Structure 1
Amino acid sequence: MNNKRPLPVYGNGNYTRDWLYVIDHAKAIDLIFHQGSLGETCKIGGFKEWKHIDLVTLLFVNG
């Protein structure tokens, strides 16, 4: 869909995020809830780090 409005990219877009499918995130939370230990610290990640500007370019400029 192209509504010809600019897509806001905050700052220079060079900050990095780890992207994860929602269902994978929900499964990880469920696993931690049921099998984790009280006081345990868990990190959930998808090992899919992207700079915001690169993802925007892929999806909206080149896609």
Structure 2
Amino acid sequence: MAIDLPARIGSLRIMLTPPPALPAQRHAAVLSVGARCTVRHALRQPPAVVLALAPEGW
């Protein structure tokens, strides 16, 4: 958690686990693909967040 307000996540670490059969020389490629991940992009440039109450029966 961040130490200042508002309360939020201060940092996030994403660990990628390559398949055991993947040669070590391909590990850099896995990291490269991870760097282009949609979730990572969203965290680096946060989207607008809209809060709403769900309609009854939703």
Which one has a larger percent strand, Structure 1 or Structure 2? 1
Question: Do the two structures share a fold, i.e. TM-score over 0.5?
Answer: no
